[in-house]
Amino acid sequence: MISLHKLDASLAFPTPSEALTDPNGLLAFGGDLSVPRLVNSYRQGIFPWFSEGEPILWWSPDPRGVLFTGKYKSSKSLLKHIRKTTPKVTVDTSFNEVIDACSSIPRKDNGTWITAEMVDAYKRLYQAGYAHSIEVWDKERLIGGLYGVFVNNVFCGESMFSRQDNASKVAFHCLVELLKKNGVRLIDCQMQNPHLATLGCEEIPRKTFLDLLASEQEHLPLQFWTPQVLLA
């Protein structure tokens, strides 16, 4: 019988190597979504993922889906779309609107993994300076965006949304360009999927990912997350 770690009031996590193989990466349950616990989890390559009515579940899958910013593949059609439509793209100007939009995207089972508890937690992470968003606008209307967590000089992508064709792709493209400009080498995509693979996402062993995460932690934090306009 396999037993799963239950978190207590401390911020300690079991080591990711103790995660289950089925389901892939399930490491622990319980605890809370406080800012200190979330920051501690991301710094160890662990993230929360659960549905409404479930306990908080913590994951560290093996292999890990990552995108090295230097290997990002931007399509010619997307670059043409950006030149043609000239969208306005901003950073950290409407985080709450972005995560609210992401949380409203229905799944095939008519649910959403971004619960109200998660929304509140990541809004607190944003206020604490760890969570960030990219916003895409059509005039004054928010048409797409993404959000994630930035720790150890690694951007951990969480979710994105589109209200117009290509809007989330524009957000991701601008994210990569912002990260590359500021020397960030790695985006944690958590799990690879066919769409991310077309952008350059690849799977690497969990240990390799954790080693990269630790090596990036040795660098000084990069201070470029300020509300700003990337494209206009």
* Residue-wise pLDDT tens digits, 34-54: 999 999 999 999 999 998 889
Domain ranges of the chain: 5-61, 65-231
Indicate if 65-231 has the same CATH topology as 5-61. no
Comparing 108 with 138, which gets the higher pLDDT?
A: 138
The neighbouring-strand residues paired with 137 are 88, 142
| 45-53 LR contacts (CB < 8 Å, sep 24+) | 45/16, 45/188, 45/206, 45/209, 45/210, 45/213, 46/13, 46/16, 47/156, 47/190, 48/118, 49/113, 50/113, 50/115, 51/111, 51/112, 51/113, 51/115, 52/111, 52/112, 52/115
Backbone phi, psi, residue 146, to 5°? -155, 165
Mean pLDDT of 104-122: 79
The CATH class that applies to domain 65-231 reads: alpha beta
Question: For residues 117 and 197, what is the distance between their CA atoms, to the nearest angstrom?
Answer: 30
pLDDT averaged over every residue in the chain = 93
Structurally, at CATH architecture level, domain 5-61 sits in 2-Layer Sandwich (3.30)
CA 60/CA 52 separation, integer angstroms: 20
pLDDT value at 1 more than 80: no
30: closest CA among 54, 1, 61, 60? 54
C-alpha of 36 from chain center: 17
Give the chain's end-to-end CA distance (angstroms, integer). Answer: 57
State the pLDDT at residue 166: 94
pLDDT of residue 59: 97
